[in-house]
Amino acid sequence: MNYRIIPPDGYIEGTVRVPLSKSMSNRALVINALTPGALPLKDVAMCDDTAVMLDALATEGDVTVNIGAAGTAMRFLTAYFATCEGRQVILDGCERMRRRPISPLVDALISLGVGIEYLGERGFPPLRITGKKLSGGTVKLDSTVSSQYVSALLMIAPAMDDGLTILLEGDTISRPYIDMTLKMMGRAGIEYDFSGNVITVSPGRYHPVEHEIEGDWSAASYWYELQSVASGEICIEGIGGGSCQGDSVVARIYEELGVVTSFDKAGARLEASPEFSPRLQLDLADCPDLTPAIVVTCCMAGIPFRLTGLQSLHIKETDRVEALRAEMLKLGVILTEEQVGTLVWEGARRPMTEMPVFDTYGDHRMAMSFAMVSLYIPGIVIKDVEVVTKSYPDFFTQLQSLGFRCLDGDAPLPRDGEEDAE
């Protein structure tokens, strides 16, 4: 399904509610599955990514599990099934998943004695995993590609006879997500130490706990994007200060993009500010998922930028760096990847020749970030809007609650003063 998006006239004011964090939810689901006597969790994110995790964790015996496009599930379940003694599981995904690397995690698990075979191209899914009781010990892990490799190993570490020590090699990306994993493990009774580039987890048993899942700060980034380029006031329910999510840094980043955040019992209140940075320079290695919203915001507001730490975006649901470059070019905006992981815009443009129709590449973040372009160019089309079910199924419904109209993508652009047909 494609949507042609028409923004409201004038002042935008209203309340939206972000979904629960899928990052916290998926960690809670794995920890809960590893906890003796644990009851099913009451509140987790309701989206495609958690649905495939729930289905996979409910399987028994020797099975084939297809997780589709859920990258988190692929990493976490590879480690989880490695601990399922006596089971043989084939773990597969969509075609894009078969191009996303998994070898750092697989190599670490093999060094711990797990039997894992590549059923296709070496280094990529699908995998045949033969679970066993693990002794533990020390492993080296390349942490420059994905922090999820680290989190996957950490969550199964308490079940190992001798616990686990992980030596992180290289510049660790998305470190706040590792901290999130350890904090959630700690709340469930696990002892650990994280000093320098060494993480040690003691052997032990998880204790049943009711994991408190926060609202998703990465989902909030699209409402920050809206507030930055529109006049109005938005309240985001479900998020608050003191979050363990690395993406909560979006509130500080958008202080440079004309948005002031305050918190009350309802959530976060976003208000306009006249303070805009003349040029944005950020290292997003700890929060790469914020990149699409920040790029679109800056280009719409005419703010040059240099964003570093984006290496992992090349292996997301799509190659987000190349996807952003291609789609921004439809707006006449010329982005440059100065070197791998560094995206730059110094204001270069070329004429826009037609109404933009944005491809989403099967990527939820592309759909949500580009929807806000409608504030500058009413009538833009977003293709395949159903991709948002991966993390934020209600996104377009909530966008409409703020006065936006989402028409059939093939519908003609309404003329001034003409209402669209329902």
Q: Are strands 357-358 and 342-345 parallel, antiparallel or unpaired?
A: unpaired
Q: Is 381 left (phi over 0), alpha (psi -120 to 50) or beta?
A: beta
The 10 Å Cβ neighbour count of residue 246 is 24
Is-cis flag, bond preceding 126, omega within 30?
yes
Q: Which of 49, 216, 247, 289 is catalytic?
A: 289
Contact by Cβ (8 Å): 265, 258? no
Contact by Cβ (8 Å): 258, 300? no
Contact by Cβ (8 Å): 251, 236? no
* Cα–Cα distance, 202 to 226 (Å, whole number): 45
List the strands of the sheet with 192-195, edge to edge: 137-142, 164-169, 198-201, 192-195
Which residue's structure tokens are 């110094």? 346
The CA-CA-CA angle for residues 200, 175, 365, to 5°, reads 140
Tokens coding 82: 């490695």
Is 55 noted as a catalytic residue in this protein?
no
Contacts for 260 with CB less than 8 Å, ≥ 6 apart: 270, 271, 272, 273
Q: What single-letter DSSP state applies at residue 336?
A: E
Q: Which residues pair with 376 in a beta bridge?
A: none
Question: Which of 345, 350, 310 has the alpha carbon at shortest distance from 330?
Answer: 350
* Cα–Cα distance, 148 to 167 (Å, whole number): 15
* Cα–Cα distance, 175 to 31 (Å, whole number): 19
Helix (H) or strand (E) holding 10: none
The length of the chain, given as a count of residues: 422
**Active-site residue list:** 289
